[in-house]
Amino acid sequence: MFRHGVIIGKFYPPHAGHHYLILEAAAAAENVTVVVMASVTESVSLADRITWLRAEHEGVPGVAISGITCDAPFDLTSRTVWAAQTACMKAAVRVVNTEPVDAVFTSEAYGDELAGWFGAKHVSVDPDRGHVPISASACRDDLAGMWSQLSEPVRIGLVTQIVVVGTGAADMSRQLTEHYRGRGGIWAKTDDTPSSPVLIRDVDPYQHRPPGSEYLVLDEDDESTTRLVDALTAAGQSWILLTGTPAERLDLAVRVSDKAIAYRAKFGPRGN
């Protein structure tokens, strides 16, 4: 049994493979420090990744989650880059545990080198991804396709929330839900929970305004619509007015939702 194991990664985003690695390390070490390495240019914040990992592993004895922003380049051939990267890693470890590190757990080919910088033993875990065939790059390339490999906290954080409001909201919410379910696959699970990459619901916007949502406002061409959009505007919420025939309203609702889903699933530099 190791005394203090370390796991280093971007966790961009955290997925089932990461969770497997953490549990394997926790079974082999008394304490495990998980370090999230983020960049200021990445579209998922360091704080979110730390929060998701803590929520998933709060019941695992000895596991602590730390994180740091590090914008040193990635270059396995450069000792100066290795020194810059590992300096950040070690600082993040010390924030939560000052014990010497005696094991570094990875699934990477460069694990021996990384462990050497810590003066520790490398413990290779599922390097061929045979137990959990997934990678963070696969999640970034196809978020919907990898949705089932994400834990509940991560799905809650990455889901696109569509909220329909106004007279007839329940019916429009149902039609929009049925549209996405008709796409099959993970989309067949679409409802008012993060079971798929889109969550669709209708709420009373005067009582509850879910943050980070796209609001679809059904136009009644009267003062109630004006009051509704003014309330959403004052609250800083994004909203789209749905007008026209029922078919035209549904068409626009789908177009707006698809755009929001595509944006939410796009990982990469901020602003791109």
Long-range CB contacts (< 8 A, 24+ apart) of 117-120? 117/82, 117/83, 117/86, 118/6, 118/86, 118/90, 120/6
CATH architecture, domain defined by 2-141? 3-Layer(aba) Sandwich (3.40)
Picking from 118, 105, 147, the residue whose alpha carbon sits closest to that of residue 18 is 105
- Give yes or no for a contact between 4 and 103, defined as CB atoms under 8 angstroms apart: yes
What is the pLDDT at residue 271?
A: 39
- Give yes or no for a contact between 117 and 86, defined as CB atoms under 8 angstroms apart: yes
Contacts of 230 (CB under 8 A, 6+ apart): none
What is the pLDDT at residue 269?
A: 67
- Do domains 2-141 and 159-264 share one topology? The answer is yes
Q: What is the b/e burial string over 160-190, where b = at least 16 CB atoms within 10 angstroms of the residue's CB?
A: bbbbbbbebbeebbebbbebbeeeeebbeeb
Picking from 198, 197, 194, 195, the residue whose alpha carbon sits closest to that of residue 253 is 198
148's tokens: 């089932």
Picking from 27, 17, 52, 50, the residue whose alpha carbon sits closest to that of residue 103 is 27
Helix pair angle (169-181, 246-264), 10° resolution: 60
Using a cut of 0.75, tell me whether the model's pTM lies above it: yes
The 10s digit of each residue's pLDDT in 47-74 is 999 999 999 999 999 999 999 999 999 9
Picking from 60, 82, 58, the residue whose alpha carbon sits closest to that of residue 72 is 82
- Rounded Cα gap, residues 186 and 213, in angstroms: 21
- Give yes or no for a contact between 106 and 8, defined as CB atoms under 8 angstroms apart: yes
- Delimit the domains of the chain by residue range: 2-141, 159-264
Helix (H) or strand (E) holding 99: none
Burial class (CB in 10 A: 0-12, 13-18, 19+), 142: exposed
What is the pLDDT at residue 272?
A: 33
CATH architecture, domain defined by 159-264? 3-Layer(aba) Sandwich (3.40)
C-alpha dihedral, 166 to 171 to 176 to 178, nearest 10°: 170
Low-confidence ranges of the chain (pLDDT < 50): 271-272
